[in-house]
Structure 1
């Protein structure tokens, strides 16, 4: 692989590109070196057999000129069979080895990207288009494989093939070889003018691919809005524009890659015609006393040089197109994690689960959503957080789950600052039910069991019964094995929410977080769930966010928030007697 790096460096002048190629090759050697070594060895065999093919033409012509020498004919025939057999076996081994290495590169890079995504905080996904991430996972990994393949097959196989053929040409006709090589500098100068254009077009092509994915995702997720507001033509127009842009840029890349072909063909035609004229002059004039076999061997080698020389001329242009995707791949892998989850940090110590927010301020970028918030959430009790939309309630919940870290202040559980704890140990102590219920595209049984993968089927069913989901589940055609579809598309909103609540019950965590957990339920189901939370949550720390005060009338402590601040707190009875903001909310809901 050192040979490939040296050869590729001749084509890649930009320092950034050179570093990208070097890094990719080093990664390829480290992870797939065995297969690349086998592939390169096979390429050496293929390249050598090309030279042997051209060299054998002298012996073939000489044997055909003396047909009475049967021994010579037999020897030459067996040699030809051996050369072509060697080439065929080498080509097969090369194809298999390179495919294994390339597929391994794709799989490794896709795993690396996904592992990097799992290390990122929630804000990474909130600030980045999912279509862009999806495009990087698929297209960029393919580009990494394609770039290594181009380097290996062109820079190694084609270069070695050219070298072996040039050796034959020099051996047979050194003067004519020197004349034939004058075409090289002209082809190289032509390539330099194409590279920058390819880089620009390929970058814009990647953006257009991301737009196609974005339109598909938005149409799929918002199909009801699309239908209700008759947006079909608008979405068709967006998709058509994105597809048209990809088509246009793909055609542009193809034109840029293919423009080398007519130029190389013309140059090759002129060279071959000139060499044929010179070789004929040599025969007539007897300048070097070359035999017909030697000239045929030289001309055969020269003709065989055309294909590898053309592929080498296209390599830089094709490699530049691939480099755009590889740069995007490494940009994502090298991206700094937005939240340090302290994988080697201390674990959360077992305790009663007493939560405190101490002078907490938090901002999304420049926008402050919490300002100097102090909360004391007692262990083993139900604490409610209420307020109008945008008051900062869900942000408090996100900070407790450490999906974000405070801009100022700290969040503690049993006097342990959670920002310094191992995130995995913290989240094992938490169970969460949100208003935007998310279900995985699998069965109901597995969706509930995700909370505790070692749970038995009976444990899952017990959690479903506690969440009043068991009856509707067993009424489905496949019961607990019913597939829920993408994000539970086959279920109603209330059914999804009850499965989500069952999942939280199954986890049996010491802290239960409920963010509008009953928003999609009818009044009867809400009352049943509220009673279940009271029973199952007894002795656990529970934090509930709600707009419907009926769900938190049994709360031990209530915090009222407004504009990112706590403006009132106390028991339900005390707040109702205080005639403050909580009393106003209560009167508006209950008259």
Structure 2
């Protein structure tokens, strides 16, 4: 049996963007939750039957009161009407609860899928997208997928079923109503098509403004000290007001566009009701038909008005949801290179010898940062990377941790090309302590435990002691259970740094990467942190980046990085004896520090 006609029909339908998105939603979320939607359809069918029954019963209700009044008939009609109302109310409740449960599960599933995809993104992705944009897609996209499916399901199950039931009643009572419905509905649907494209464009503008607003709010909260220090409140206020006004304007335009279907439906509905009154009145007054038929037809038409109006504006309401669902799919369909690494073997690390062989890399096309760099970090030794900013020092660490991938050349650990091994095992062999320490909201204990999830309390305390953090932790009111605040804001810079070092101690990785770990500290805090770092470097292959050369003079090897290449390497005394680039850096730095620390000159008569 050939399915070619069906396939051609499907392809033709999928050329429409909205239908394509709905088709995908049904194949993924709809199929997965078909049982819940089937149950909801059942309850919506009961609602439609009850609604039609109530309209049909109006004939008997009116006739039993005004045409052939009998107490038994009135009681019977009243009881049946109550039962139908109870059935409709229970069905509405059950349908709403069922749809809510299914919808909430869809949101949860999609948020998990999106977050799983985000976990697989490399650092380059986050460098190119603002946090507000990602979080908006994470929340708005998942909700839009649910709302779109719910709108389609309820439009079919509740509104279409109700219209069919009421149309059936009208056809039984008087076929003329079918003519009215056949004329009114197509006019209403065609009249709203022009609003769909406008609604999509407005929602896109609203989403863009919301991203800008959330981005600015995040930056203000995170940079509040800078805002206060430079009295930037007027500038921030003006920008926020501009974005808020943009969002308000877009929301008003969207509401106005979505509401434009109402005047059309009100007008068409009024004409339809007027036609029914004239026609049914003629039948009752002139042709002698019972008034019950008139009221039954009129009730069916009145009850059909709301579902007909919802169906007429279906596409207009659906358009913004399609934009939100597409935002979700953009993340789900995008490449997540780190997700493919789990199938590769684990990296075997014995001595932790690191080699760079003709490695080339650039963050942007045509702008190389590393230009065929070669270097070797020997096992159990400390190698320091020094040089001017922008030379490629941090990039070397980013490549060792595989935050980025070399464009040419090879990075080896114990002779093994790291690209041939699983990403978790490569990163598991390294511990990174940088200048920008990130602490998660939670307790001191939890932040240290991130170094090795599942570690015992004894191991956490031992790591803190090794990092010279145990003593100051005990001064907190709740000790290791004290909250660190957002980004560790409740701790000093030196305390945050030692918590990070405790985390590295707990991880106990054979490779230690230190990226300006003491650059932002005062002398006293730096001294404490240096003690912890010296203990941490013991028996590990360590790569240190430092601008303060006095912190690396004892390194086993110092490599001067300039322009993406190693231009000098050796021990401190060897490099000083050569009087090359390192000697120049050293002389320049210590001459400047001597000037800064020198006492001010005695005032003279001239200066006075």
Question: Shared fold by TM > 0.5?
Answer: yes
Q: CA deviation at 1:46?
A: 0.5
Shift of 1:14: 5.2
- CA shift at 1:284, angstroms? 3.2
Task: Name the residue aligned to 2:600.
Answer: none
Name the residue aligned to 1:557. Answer: 557
Specify the alignment match of 1:293 in structure 2.
292
Partner of 1:148: 149
Q: Residues 130, 144 of structure 1: CA spacing in aligned structure 2 closer, same or farther, 3 A cutoff?
A: same
Give yes or no for contact 2:30–2:149 (8 Å, CA) kept in 1. no
Partner of 1:509: 509
Shift of 1:410: 1.4
Cα distance in 2 for partners of 1:447, 1:535 equals: 20
Unaligned regions of 5+ residues in structure 1, if any? 1-8
Question: Does the 8 Å CA contact 1:180/1:275 hold for their aligned counterparts?
Answer: no
Counterpart-to-counterpart distance in 2, 1:219 and 1:395: 29
Distance in structure 2 (CA, Å) of the matches to 1:238 and 1:589: 41
After superposition, residues 379-418 of structure 1 pair within 5 angstroms as 379-418=379-418
Q: Which residues in structure 2 correspond to 1:432-451 (within 5 Å)?
A: 432-451=432-451
1:32 and 1:101 in contact (8 A); partners too:
yes
Alignment of 1:29-178 (within 5 A): 29-65=30-66, 69-178=70-179
Query: Partner of 1:45: helix, strand, or coil?
Result: helix
Alpha carbons 1:339, 1:404 under 8 Å: kept: no
Residue number in structure 1 paired with 2:244? 243
2:428–2:509: 8 Å Cα contact kept in structure 1? yes
Check 1:262–1:359 CA distance in 2 against 1; reply closer, same or farther (3 A cut): same
String of CA shifts for 1:377-404, please: whole Å, max 9, x gaps: 1111111111111110000000000000
Partner of 1:463: 463
The DSSP-based 3-state class of the residue aligned with 1:441 is coil
Q: Structure 1's 589 and 176: CA in aligned 2 closer, same or farther, altered over 3 A?
A: closer
| CA distances 1:408-434 after superposition (whole Å, capped 9, x unpaired) | 111111111112211011111111100
Deviation track 1:420-454 (CA, whole Å, cap 9, x = no partner) reads 21101111111110011111111111111110122
Aligned-pair CA distance for 1:16? 2.5
User: Does the CA contact (< 8 Å) of 1:194 and 1:317 recur in 2?
Assistant: yes
Instruction: Out of 206-215 and 331-340, give the one that drifted further.
Output: 331-340
Q: Deviations for 1:447-489, whole angstroms, at most 9, x for unmatched residues?
A: 1111012222222222222222222221222222221111011
1:486-565 aligned at under 5 Å gives the runs 486-565=486-565
Relative to 1, partners in 2 of residues 1:512 and 1:54: Cα closer, same or farther, differing over 3 Å? same
Distance 1:13-1:271 versus aligned 2 partners, 3 A rule: farther
- Between 1:57-66 and 1:524-533, the stretch displaced more is 524-533
Q: Using the TM superposition, give the Cα deviation of residue 527 of structure 1 relative to its aligned residue in structure 2, in angstroms.
A: 4.0
* TM-align CA RMSD: 2.1
Gaps spanning 5+ residues in structure 2: where? 1-9, 592-608
What TM-score, normalized by structure 2, do the two folds share?
Answer: 0.92
Cα 1:520–1:465, aligned 2, differ >3 Å: closer, same or farther? farther
TM-score (norm 1): 0.95
Q: Structure 1 CA distance, aligned partners of 2:263 and 2:441?
A: 52
Secondary structure in 2 matching 1:342: helix
Aligned to 1:26: 27
Cα distance change of structure 1 residues 78 and 571 upon mapping to structure 2, 3 Å threshold: same
